[in-house]
Amino acid sequence: MLDRIAVGEIPRKHHIQLRAPDGTLRYEHCITRDGFDGPYTIAYHAGRPHLGRPVDASHGFARPVAAGPRPLLRRHYRTGDLHRGGAPIDARQAILFNADVVLSVLHPDREDPVYLANADGDDLVFCLEGGGQLRSTFGDLRFTKSDYVCVPRGTVHRFIPDAGVKQHWLVIECRGGMGIPKQWRNPVGQLRMDAPFSHRDFRRPDFVGPVDEGIREVIVKRGDAFTGYAHETSPLDVVGWDGTVYPWVFPILNFQPRAGLVHLPPTWHGTFAARGALVCSFVPRLVDFHPEAIPCPYPHSSVEVDEFLFYCDGNFTSRKGVGPGSASHHPAGIAHGPHPGSYEGSIGATRTDELAVMLDCFLPLEATAPALDTEDAAYHDSFR
């Protein structure tokens, strides 16, 4: 949830009449979080937004299913190997999940032919490769390589990936909501001067008014089941809206990293907070400057936390045998640390060019069968 913006036609007060030039009444649509206590947006539709007739959903992706009990090991999945094209609404493949987050990968090769509203959580998409347009009732939002895209729960939207370009996206579905960590806001909700980003670093939707693409189906995901709703008119019939709930883009390279005299823990790279999870951004930066500093992360046991790391670009100080699209899962219960030689080899380094998205979460992550198909079986022993 970002700062309030207002676009298009809106009346001068909440809950009063808004009329088209011919006198027709517009329909107010309040989109509220935390019941009615949290952030909200009020949109105005040309028609009533609640007229969809239930139909069998024509699209959707598989619900996450655990592959079964497995020994507690450090794991590495090569998500580039999860080949399945299709529209984004069909292409998502879950690899790891718990009750708070579902981590999925997709390689879409065409645009969504229908709209989706995910009522199960906020989707945080990270575009490793490719780019495109997110079209929603709030307007169009362009994204490209190395962008995070936030699609708030319930947003009626579709993705239009750029044609002829390789696409590789990670999606973190945050079932208890996600947003900016509290410590980065001042008492009025503005991002603090010492936050690692400012309001200027985010891109907001470009609102052009009502859109009719001829699409009438909205597919709603709730409880990992998909239900279609057929509308008589375009669901993107919004004439204006204002509020703080809307999709946005944050380019990961807009994150302002910190370096310390000695190594700073990952929490300093905290970018987005979700229920039971923290998303961190590791971006190119100078490293620790104590004359005896060891810049490489120390072996550690963060004893309540499963760590997921999605590698994007650059050389990783601590790990070997991983590359863009690699996803590692280091579970709580066993210590993890650098690969042989990395710890010693980092002494004297002045910078790192690594780019990665990390997720620390409190509930154990379970792997799905598609993840197992891409697993690097030698990974656990590669630390010996």
3-class state of residue 263 by DSSP:
coil
Residues found in the chain: 384
Residue 45 vs 319, nearer CB to Fe ion:
319
Residue 46 vs 322, nearer CB to Fe ion:
322
Sign of CA dihedral 250, 171, 218, 36: negative
Residues 173, 157: Cα–Cα separation, whole Å: 15
Residues 140, 133: Cα–Cα separation, whole Å: 7
Nearest residue to Fe ion, by Cβ distance, number only: 307
Stretch that binds Fe ion, among 65-73, 145-153, 229-237, 307-315 (CB under 5 A): 307-315
Q: Which of 288, 307, 366, 375 binds Fe ion (CB under 5 A)?
A: 307
Q: Pattern 256-295, binding to Fe ion, x per CB under 5 A?
A: ----------------------------------------
CB 224 within 8 A of CB 18: no
End-to-end, the C-alpha distance of the chain in Å comes to: 44
Stretch that binds Fe ion, among 122-130, 207-215, 233-241, 304-312 (CB under 5 A): 304-312
Size, binding site for Fe ion by CB under 5 A: 1
List the beta bridge partners of residue 148. Answer: 126, 250
Determine if 360 is a binding residue for Fe ion (CB under 5 A). Answer: no
Residue 328 vs 374, nearer CB to Fe ion:
328
Residue 217 vs 307, nearer CB to Fe ion:
307
Q: How far is the CB of 318 from Fe ion (least distance, A)?
A: 8
CB 6 within 8 A of CB 204: no
Stretch that binds Fe ion, among 6-14, 108-116, 300-308, 319-327 (CB under 5 A): 300-308
DSSP 141-163: EEEETTEEEEE-TT--EEEEEPT
CB 140 within 8 A of CB 146: no
Could you say which residues in the range 93-132 bind Fe ion, by CB under 5 A?
none
Residues 175, 151: Cα–Cα separation, whole Å: 12
Q: How far is the CB of 309 from Fe ion (least distance, A)?
A: 7
Residue 306 vs 307, nearer CB to Fe ion:
307
Binding site for Fe ion (CB under 5 A): 307
